[in-house]
Amino acid sequence: MNQKAERVAVCPGSYDPVTNGHLDIITRASHIFDRVVVGVVNQPIRKKKTLFTADERISFIEEATAHLGNVEVQAFYTLLVEFARDNGAQAIVKGLRAISDFEYENEMAQLNSKLDSEIESFYVFARPEYSFLSSTGVKEMATFNGDVGDLVPAPVAAALADRLGRD
């Protein structure tokens, strides 16, 4: 009997914090792949310090994706292709919002391919309602008491208000 191999993808990011745009990409990936591993970068290289710890970010994503039976969340501390290999992934799935995302992601895809040509990079275009949405923008809005309730899950909005909100 010929058994079909499990299709596994990783969705990496800092998720500081996770937004509804991130969750849309994760959900869409979960409809295509048998298993989706959301990889939370413990300490991102491009950002000096995260607002939320890796454990907090994992908890937010786990709660928001609990209804998706084929999604799991893990922190990772290695090269992305090593994390993908360790999880048996054949694909890296990321979202694209704008041409500026494409330029950076194209470079990363080429580097990842050089490291492991067996792991493919897939990009999912952000839905129009999320095309402007970034974790950085959400944090800036929350800093000045802006309403982020429709941009992030409710527990994230509450945590942002607690951590960043001004009196």
The single-letter DSSP state of residue 26 is H
143 lies in a domain? no
Q: CA 106 to CA 110: how far, in whole Å?
A: 6
The model carries a pTM of 0.93
Tokens representing 16 are: 């500081």
38 lies in a domain? yes
CA nearest neighbour of 122 among 135, 112, 137, 132: 112
Selected residue with higher pLDDT from 97 and 166: 97
53 lies in a domain? yes
pLDDT tens for each residue of 35-89: 999 999 987 666 678 999 999 999 999 999 999 999 999 999 999 999 999 999 9
CATH code of residue 110: 3.40.50.620
DSSP state string for 97-130:
-SHHHHHHHHHHHHHHHHH-TTSEEEEEEPPGGG
Torsion of CA 78, 20, 131, 133, to 10 degrees: -80
Show the domain range for 121: 8-130
150 lies in a domain? no
- As for how many domains the chain has, the answer is 1
pLDDT tens for each residue of 78-132: 999 999 999 999 999 999 998 878 988 999 999 999 999 999 999 999 999 999 9
Strands (E), 14-59: 35-41
Q: How far is CA 138 from CA 109, 163, 166, in A?
A: 26, 13, 15
Q: Give catalytic residues, as residue numbers.
A: 22, 48, 97, 135
Residue 1 has pLDDT above 60, yes or no: no
pLDDT at residue 5 in the model: 86
Selected residue with higher pLDDT from 100 and 9: 9
pLDDT at residue 87 in the model: 98
